[in-house]
Chain A
Amino acid sequence: CNTSGEGARAVPLAGHVGFDSMPDQLVNKSVNHGFCFNILCVGETGLGKSTLMDTLFNTKFEGEPTQHNQPGVTLKSNTYELQESNVRLKLTVVNTVGFGDQINKEDSYKSIVEFIDAQFEAYLQEELKIKRTLHSYHDTRIHACLYFIAPTGHSLKSLDLVTMKKLDSKVNIIPIVAKSDAISKSELAKFKIKITSELVSNGVQIYQFPTDDESVAEINSTMNSHLPFAVVGSTEEVKIGNKMVKARQYPWGTVQVENENHCDFVKLREMLIRVNMEDLREQTHTRHYELYRRCKLEEMGFKDTDPDSKPFSLQETYEAKRNEFMGELQKKEEEMRQMFVQRVKEKEAELKEAEKELHEKFDRLKKLHQDEKKKLEDKKKSLDDELNMFKQKKTAAELLQNQAQQAGGSTTLKRDKERKK
């Protein structure tokens, strides 16, 4: 919360009231509650990410060195409880496994972006719940992204530029030159300048240590000019003088991790942990998370003002959303019903067509049949006529014959009779 102090008139105090203990009250509460911090390490395999984490936090975190044969980029996260004096810190270290190992690295940044977004989403979901427990929520949002740059000495790789560009609006990026003991001092200076100018010309927004608070403005602005930090990590100790110090021993000399002439490790630790840890958390919450939230809500159709530029109240917004939503569902239902009605109509028409065709077919057949029948009838009739005629002929002929026979018979009889006379 920010005190605007608007509408408030300043009044003098006649004595010691005691609210100057408020910061202490607040601090006591946060100490009791414990702190949490989440670091994401992005960099190719073999750049010493795990070793650097171990060195930074003076402890041995999990993990074995990974091989180079990962098929894609996966993110592995581990949470640890650390305590220093009375301060408890829940530290989550997220490593990108397999980054930069593939032949086609076009999608390498995707799993990282997805992971970061997933943490924002989880927080957003919690924040939107009706019954929520934000106070005891374990915040997994990434507060700082250490981007490990390979110590080539030349320039940034295109993979680096692409990845950082995709991440700069989602997370505080702190670029570091890894295994910087591979570069000589003069090369390093040139390298840093090259990197910085490439970042600027590509519009990559890296995290700037804040300079608005007078107590830390000076140190922060000095450190800003040392970015990217050239670091060396080591958990092995070497005796220098009469002390055991963290170092890497070479035949030609020993690189002391905490010697500011040798590398920027101490600067990184100062900035990341001792001075700006709280600011990193704050920026994540008030800038990166808010951006994510705003985009997400806008995507879902939420607005702050209606078309007449009058502000919506929460209730109105939700109710409007809900009505829209219900309307949508109803519309879908209606559409489906209509579709079915349509199908039924079509099918009915189809079947009616088929029926009609069937009847037509049989009507035709019937007609044929009728014709055939008629022909048959005709044939029958003509046969019958013939038969009748024949009968008549036969009858007539027989009649004649009978007559003739009778006559002939009588003639023959007569003749026979005559002959006998």
Chain B
Amino acid sequence: MIERPETAVPSIAQRNLEGYVGFANLPNQVYRKSVKRGFEFTLMVVGESGLGKSTLINSLFLTDLYSKDYPGPSQRIKKTVQVEQSKVLIKEGGVQLTLTIVDTPGFGDAVDNSNCWQPVINYIDSKCEDFLNAESRVNRRSMPDNRVHCCLYFIAPSGHGLKPLDIEFMKRLHDKVNVIPLIAKADTLTPEECQLFKKQIMKEIQEHKIKIYEFPDTEDDEDNKLIRKIKEKMPLAVVGSNVVIEVNGKKVRGRQYPWGVAEEGIFVENGEHCDFTVLRNMLIRTHMQDLKDVTNNVHYENYRSKKLAAVTCNGVDNTKTKGQLTKSPLAQMEEERREHVMKMKKMEAEMEQVFEMKVKEKKQKLKDSEAELERRHEQMKRNLEAQYKELEEKRRVYEDEKANWEAQQRILEQQKLDASKTMEKNKKKGKIF
């Protein structure tokens, strides 16, 4: 089931109005403005050629979208799958609608149909891409909405079940666009066959977990009853016709067979010929806006978030927490910047620490070296001083000794002198010969 975003319900104060204010007129203002703006809708039709796609479009919009001047794709011979769009402007009741029909001629017509869905996917993605780029510009002007709002998938009325191509296509597209499967050329099935066919198809759709477009429940019970009735008819079986025939005095669109006329426009009480009216009512009259909203709020958002996540993570491992995706890529970068700043701070602190430590080491070494040299110098000094002292001592001793000896010598000298003087005297006295 395709998830629809819930409307937030905040807790805020209620107030009752005591009189006329006038904002009940808001819906009218919205109405007025929307009419002035005009509407856009892009409808894609996919299916093998010959299933009556172009005829159905013409019937749905009661116009010759494909005519002699603008031939439908079935008239043109295609070798490979093309994706072509036609744009028309239609007006009704003052309301202007720019309708784009996207056709896929060649789909499923080849012998080997592998990847025939790829051009379709590429087209849808490229429209989303255009919108994303327009939305992301700095200067945004009008943003035309060319996204595919609905894809009608035509199933051939084999009566048995879905073909492998049908399953493959729907599985690949159900996440990208609103898929509404239709049984084409329903006038080749009897009502009973049709019922069985429908049941079988729905069974297979559920088995393969294909998410086709779902009608939203409304608050109105009456509407819900109708919706449930429509759901029971899915997939819708349609018949298209470009021809207007007169039946019982009434002009109707139908296909005339020898056995009768298969009408498409009249909802007959005792048996509908096909679900064409249901389709038209649902697609155009009641749910066109919802198809656009689901495209915008679900399919486009899916595309966008995938695209932006790829850009942000930039090839990095995508097992990041969900929390990352709630940010914009810019907020992401901001956070990364903050992380980086912290990392840098840490790195800086570490480097600072290492630096300081090394400086301290070196300084310490220098100090030790200095101390060592000081010590040695001191030692040498003391050594020298000691030697000096020693020398002083030696000199003193020597000086003393010398002084003594000299004193002695002087005494001796004196004695000698005295002795020789006495001898001289004695000699003179003749006592000594």
User: Chain A: residues with CB nearer than 8 A to chain B?
Assistant: 1-5, 7-35, 37, 56-62, 78-87, 89-90, 125, 127-133, 135-138, 212-213, 215-216, 269-270, 273-279, 282, 290, 293-294, 297-298, 300, 302-304, 311, 313-315, 317-319, 321-322, 325, 329, 332-333, 336, 340, 343-344, 347, 351, 354-355, 358, 362, 365-366, 369, 372-373, 376, 379-380, 383, 386-387, 390, 394, 397, 401, 415, 418
CB atoms of A135 and B5 under 8 A apart? yes
CB atoms of B31 and A19 under 8 A apart? no
CB nearest to B324 among chain A residues:
A130
CB atoms of A17 and B394 under 8 A apart? no
B97 surroundings in chain A (CB, below 8 A):
19, 22
| Bound CA span A25–B100, Å | 19
| Bound CA span A43–B384, Å | 96
B366 surroundings in chain A (CB, below 8 A):
351, 354-355, 358
CB nearest to B309 among chain A residues:
A130
A84 surroundings in chain B (CB, below 8 A):
17, 20-24
CB atoms of B142 and A25 under 8 A apart? no
Instruction: Render B263-302 as a binary contact track against A, CB cut-off 8 A, 1 for contact.
Output: 0000000000000000011001111111001000100010
Known contacts A57-B17, A313-B133, A369-B380; 8 additional CB pairs below 8 A are A19-B284, A22-B39, A33-B7, A130-B329, A131-B325, A351-B362, A369-B381, A418-B433
The 8 closest A-B pairs by CB, nearest first: A128-B328, A20-B93, A278-B29, A25-B289, A3-B38, A274-B22, A8-B87, A2-B142
A380 surroundings in chain B (CB, below 8 A):
387, 391
A18 surroundings in chain B (CB, below 8 A):
92, 280-281, 284-285
A213 surroundings in chain B (CB, below 8 A):
32-33, 36
A325–chain B nearest beta-carbon distance, Å: 5
Instruction: Render B391-429 as a binary contact track against A, CB cut-off 8 A, 1 for contact.
Output: 100110010011001000100100000000000000000
| Bound CA span A203–B314, Å | 48
B326–chain A nearest beta-carbon distance, Å: 6
CB atoms of B92 and A130 under 8 A apart? no
Looking at B27, B351, B398, the one whose CB has the most chain A CB atoms below 10 A away is B27
Given the known interface contacts A329-B337, A351-B363, the answer about A270 and B33 at a Cβ–Cβ threshold of 8 Å is: no
Given the known interface contacts A18-B281, A81-B15, A390-B398, the answer about A290 and B286 at a Cβ–Cβ threshold of 8 Å is: no
CB atoms of B7 and A26 under 8 A apart? no
Interface SS of chain A: helix
A367–chain B nearest beta-carbon distance, Å: 12
A34 surroundings in chain B (CB, below 8 A):
7
CB atoms of B398 and A340 under 8 A apart? no
CB atoms of B29 and A80 under 8 A apart? no
Name the one of A8, A314, A390, A415 contacting B98, with C-beta atoms under 8 angstroms: A8
CB atoms of A82 and B136 under 8 A apart? no
B17 surroundings in chain A (CB, below 8 A):
57-59, 82-84
Given the known interface contacts A2-B37, A351-B366, A390-B398, the answer about A22 and B293 at a Cβ–Cβ threshold of 8 Å is: no
Given the known interface contacts A3-B144, A129-B328, the answer about A22 and B95 at a Cβ–Cβ threshold of 8 Å is: yes
| Bound CA span A58–B18, Å | 5
CB atoms of A24 and B307 under 8 A apart? no
| Bound CA span A163–B406, Å | 119
B25 contacts A by Cβ under 8 Å = yes
Given the known interface contacts A81-B12, A131-B326, A269-B21, the answer about A1 and B61 at a Cβ–Cβ threshold of 8 Å is: no
B62 contacts A by Cβ under 8 Å = yes
Name the one of A5, A294, A313 contacting B89, with C-beta atoms under 8 angstroms: A5
Given the known interface contacts A5-B38, A274-B25, the answer about A358 and B344 at a Cβ–Cβ threshold of 8 Å is: no
B143 surroundings in chain A (CB, below 8 A):
1-2
A86 surroundings in chain B (CB, below 8 A):
24
A387 surroundings in chain B (CB, below 8 A):
394, 398
B363 surroundings in chain A (CB, below 8 A):
351
CB atoms of A20 and B31 under 8 A apart? no
CB atoms of A3 and B31 under 8 A apart? no
CB atoms of B288 and A22 under 8 A apart? yes
B433 surroundings in chain A (CB, below 8 A):
418
B215 contacts A by Cβ under 8 Å = no
Given the known interface contacts A3-B40, A9-B87, A386-B398, the answer about A273 and B308 at a Cβ–Cβ threshold of 8 Å is: no
Instruction: Render B343-384 as a binary contact track against A, CB cut-off 8 A, 1 for contact.
Output: 010011001000100110011001001100100010011001
Name the one of B22, B24, B33, B63 contacting A278, with C-beta atoms under 8 angstroms: B33
Name the one of B10, B26, B309, B347 contacting A87, with C-beta atoms under 8 angstroms: B26
How many residues of B are counted as interface, with CB atoms below 8 angstroms from the partner's CB atoms?
Answer: 130
| Bound CA span A17–B58, Å | 11
CB atoms of A56 and B21 under 8 A apart? yes
A302 surroundings in chain B (CB, below 8 A):
138
B430 contacts A by Cβ under 8 Å = no
| Bound CA span A164–B6, Å | 38
B347–chain A nearest beta-carbon distance, Å: 7
B283–chain A nearest beta-carbon distance, Å: 9
B336 surroundings in chain A (CB, below 8 A):
325, 329
CB nearest to B93 among chain A residues:
A20
B297 surroundings in chain A (CB, below 8 A):
135
| Bound CA span A138–B145, Å | 24
Name the one of B21, B30, B286 contacting A21, with C-beta atoms under 8 angstroms: B286
B288 surroundings in chain A (CB, below 8 A):
19, 22, 25
CB atoms of A27 and B362 under 8 A apart? no
| Bound CA span A413–B96, Å | 175
B35 contacts A by Cβ under 8 Å = yes
Given the known interface contacts A10-B89, A315-B307, the answer about A3 and B26 at a Cβ–Cβ threshold of 8 Å is: no
| Bound CA span A277–B24, Å | 11
What are 19 of the A-B contact pairs (CB < 8 Å)? A3-B98, A4-B144, A13-B91, A18-B280, A20-B95, A22-B34, A58-B21, A80-B13, A133-B5, A136-B6, A136-B7, A273-B23, A277-B29, A278-B33, A304-B137, A313-B133, A314-B311, A333-B344, A376-B391
B312 surroundings in chain A (CB, below 8 A):
130, 318, 322
CB atoms of B138 and A298 under 8 A apart? yes
| Bound CA span A136–B8, Å | 6
CB atoms of B398 and A383 under 8 A apart? yes
B135–chain A nearest beta-carbon distance, Å: 8
B87–chain A nearest beta-carbon distance, Å: 4
Name the one of A8, A29, A57, A325 contacting B290, with C-beta atoms under 8 angstroms: A29
| Bound CA span A303–B432, Å | 146
CB nearest to B302 among chain A residues:
A131
B33 surroundings in chain A (CB, below 8 A):
213, 278-279, 282
A59 surroundings in chain B (CB, below 8 A):
15-18
